[in-house]
Amino acid sequence: MDLKRQPIGIFDSGVGGLTVAHAIKQLMPGESIVYFGDTAHLPYGDKSAELICQYSEKIVEFLLGQNAKMILIACNSASASAYDYLQKKFGKDTIILDVISPVIEYVSSRNFKKIGVIGTKRTIASGVYEKMIALKSPETKVVSLATPLFVPMIEEGFIFDDISNQIIRAYLSNQLFEGIEALILGCTHYPIIRNQISKFFDFRVEIIDSSRVVSSVVRDILQKNNIQNDSRLVNDRFLVSDYTEYFRKIARLFFEKEINLEKTDIWS
Ligand code: DGL
């Protein structure tokens, strides 16, 4: 089978990873994607690392069964908890990329003095950003804060209003963030409120949106391995482990257009 024509396999706990899928399609419209959102088990942000590894392993097996030519973990919580595990398990046979390492590379190219990270409880508790930045850019001070209300807030459509502004202010006015030069959006939902966050900091703080950074790394990987596809015959599939009208509605918000979510049971 021609590897070039095979889809990029992307997964997330739900539909938040569609922000990454969208960035990939913007940059590489000739690539097909097969997306799996584990809506039956979300949120991952409150789960244990062990359980996230278990779910992620099964999803990767499924995506490889769909002929994915590479796997992208489009979820920070799964990247923080399961990337090393998945790399050990599948890294010999396929390319696995997470949404955190490309951001660490980007940060190391910028020589920041102080940066902030926000994400789910799972991602922040893992300390993965601090650890990886300390290895690559020891001169950069990292401060981080779990901002768990952002996910339900965004999903409930509180995005450009007083409620979202108050919640953003409540978290980000934390003294921790005083003097930061950049803020990493360590959750695939957060690009939706990127502009409001930027505005909160009076546009003086660089907002690092992993979906943008990651999509250009995916393009580089495909080119380096000579498996990029420029076909006009794209076939994108969006699969979810549980389907409701609500997921359809919010998928539209994250992917910026209507998509067809197919319910697929990979657990039984
Ligand atoms: N997609 C998850 C992340 O990027 C957020 C939603 C969840 O907690 O499952 O961390």
End residue of a domain, out of 168, 194, 210: 210
Phi, psi at residue 144, to the nearest 5°? -135, 155
Mean pLDDT, range 129-141, rounded to an integer = 96
Q: Note whether 168 and 40 are same-domain residues.
A: no
Ligand 1 contacts CB of residue 56 (under 6 A):
no
> What's the gap in Å between 180 CA and the centre of ligand 1?
24
Q: Is residue 65 part of a domain?
A: yes
CA distance 205 to 185: 12
Q: Note whether 217 and 203 are same-domain residues.
A: no
Q: Which residues partner with 145 through β-bridges?
A: 118
End residue of a domain, out of 210, 233, 251: 210
> What's the gap in Å between 98 CA and the centre of ligand 1?
13
Ligand 1 contacts CB of residue 44 (under 6 A):
yes
pLDDT of residue 160: 86
Query: What residues are annotated to the active site?
Result: 75, 187
Q: What is the pLDDT of residues 7-55, one digit of tens each?
A: 999 999 999 999 999 999 999 999 999 999 999 999 999 899 999 999 9
Q: Is residue 56 part of a domain?
A: yes
Ligand 1 contacts CB of residue 38 (under 6 A):
no
Number of domains comprising the chain: 2
| pLDDT reading at 1 higher than 80 | no
Q: Is residue 25 part of a domain?
A: yes
Quick one: pLDDT band at residue 233, thresholds 50, 70, 90? confident
Mean pLDDT, range 142-168, rounded to an integer = 94
Q: Note whether 106 and 88 are same-domain residues.
A: no
Cβ-proximal residues to 83 (8 Å cutoff; 6+ apart), any chain: 73, 96, 98, 100, 101
Residue nearest to atom 8 of ligand 1 (CA): 45
pLDDT of residue 187: 95
Q: Which of 69, 20, 22 is nearest to 226 (CA)?
A: 69
Q: Note whether 143 and 13 are same-domain residues.
A: no
Q: Note whether 46 and 90 are same-domain residues.
A: yes
DSSP 21-41: HHHHHHH-TT--EEEEE-TTT
CATH code, domain with 238: 3.40.50.1860
> What's the gap in Å between 125 CA and the centre of ligand 1?
13
Atom of ligand 1 nearest to the CA of 123: 10
Q: Is residue 167 part of a domain?
A: yes
Quick one: pLDDT band at residue 154, thresholds 50, 70, 90? very high
CA distance 76 to 187: 5
Contact 67, 9 (CB under 8 A): no
Q: Is residue 236 part of a domain?
A: yes
Residue nearest to atom 6 of ligand 1 (CA): 43
Q: What is the pLDDT of residues 174-221, one digit of tens each?
A: 999 999 999 999 999 999 999 999 999 999 999 999 898 999 999 999
pTM of the predicted protein model? 0.94
Q: What is the pLDDT of residues 43-94, one digit of tens each?
A: 999 899 999 999 999 999 999 999 999 999 999 999 999 999 999 999 999 9
> What's the gap in Å between 230 CA and the centre of ligand 1?
31
Q: What is the pLDDT of residues 80-122, one digit of tens each?
A: 999 999 999 999 999 999 999 999 999 999 999 999 999 999 9
Tokens 């021609």 correspond to: 2
> Comparing 113-127, 141-155, 192-206, 228-242, which segment has the lowest mean pLDDT?
228-242
Q: Note whether 39 and 26 are same-domain residues.
A: yes
> What's the gap in Å between 88 CA and the centre of ligand 1?
22
Q: Note whether 72 and 159 are same-domain residues.
A: no
Residue nearest to atom 2 of ligand 1 (CA): 75
Q: Is residue 268 part of a domain?
A: no
End residue of a domain, out of 165, 194, 210: 210
Q: Note whether 230 and 180 are same-domain residues.
A: no
Ligand 1 contacts CB of residue 77 (under 6 A):
yes
pLDDT of residue 2: 83
Contact 31, 47 (CB under 8 A): no
Q: Note whether 221 and 204 are same-domain residues.
A: no
Q: Note whether 247 and 202 are same-domain residues.
A: no
Q: Note whether 55 and 134 are same-domain residues.
A: no
Q: Structural domain of residue 39, as residue ranges?
A: 3-98+212-263
Q: Is residue 112 part of a domain?
A: yes
Ligand 1 contacts CB of residue 123 (under 6 A):
yes
Q: Note whether 229 and 256 are same-domain residues.
A: yes
pLDDT of residue 132: 97
Q: Which of 15, 38, 75 to mutate to test ligand 1, by most ligand atoms within 8 A of the CB atom?
A: 75
